[in-house]
Copies of this chain bind each other. A is one copy, B any other.
Amino acid sequence: MIRKTLPLACSTAKIPWSRCSNSDIADAVNSRKIPLYNLEKELEPDYKRAIAVRREVISKYVAPLPNADTRRNGLESIPFEDYDWDRVVGQNCENIVGYVPLPLGIAGPIIMDGKEYPIPMATTEGALVASTHRGARVISQSGGCKTLLLSEGMSRAPVVELDSLEEAGRLHDFCNEKFPLIKEAFESTTRFGKLKSLKCALAGRKAYLRFRATTGDAMGMNMITKGVDKALAFLQQEFPTMKVLALSGNYCTDKKPSAVNWIEGRGKTVLAEATVRADLVEKVLKCTVDSLISLNVDKNLVGSAMAGSVGGFNAQAANAVAAIFIATGQDPAQVVESSTCITTMSKVGNDLLISVTMPSIEVGTVGGGTGLAAQRGCLELIGCGGSNKETPGANAQLLSRVVAAGVLSAELSLMSGLASGHLLSAHMRLNRKQK
Contact = CB atoms under 8 A, between A and B. Distances in A.
B123 A93 contact: yes
Contacts of A37: 130, 133
A99 to B, nearest CB: 4
Given A148-B169, A263-B201, A336-B335, A303 B62 contact: no
Given A204-B273, A263-B308, A377 B105 contact: no
B133 A104 contact: no
Interface string A232-275: 10001000000111111111111111111111100000010100
With a 10 A CB-CB cut-off, give which of A73, A147, A148, A378 has the most chain B CB atoms: A148
A379 interface: yes
A125 interface: yes
Interface stretch (A22-30, A276-284, A337-345): A337-345
Contacts of A326: 100, 102, 326, 332
A203 interface: yes
17 contacts: A75-B380, A93-B103, A93-B105, A100-B102, A100-B378, A124-B369, A157-B303, A236-B429, A246-B299, A253-B307, A257-B309, A258-B307, A259-B259, A259-B260, A260-B263, A304-B305, A322-B333
A301 B302 contact: yes
B301 A301 contact: yes
Nearest to A380: B74
A106 interface: yes
With a 10 A CB-CB cut-off, give which of A67, A250, A304 has the most chain B CB atoms: A250
Nearest to A246: B418
Interface in A39-71: 54, 58, 61-62, 65-67, 70-71
A329 interface: yes
Interface stretch (A6-14, A182-190, A310-318): A310-318
Copies in the complex: 4
B100 A96 contact: no
A249 B128 CA distance: 19
Contacts of A261: 307
A316 B243 CA distance: 23
A355 B205 contact: yes
Query: Which DSSP category, helix, strand, loop or mixed, fits chain A's interface?
Result: mixed
A104 B96 CA distance: 6
B150 A166 contact: no
Contacts of A92: 103, 123-126
A64 to B, nearest CB: 10
Given A73-B380, A305-B313, 4 more contacts: A100-B375, A204-B355, A301-B301, A336-B336
Contacts of A62: 381
A241 B24 CA distance: 52
Given A299-B159, A313-B305, A326-B102, A257 B257 contact: yes
A393 B278 CA distance: 46
A323 B314 CA distance: 25
A135 interface: no
A214 to B, nearest CB: 15
A202 interface: yes
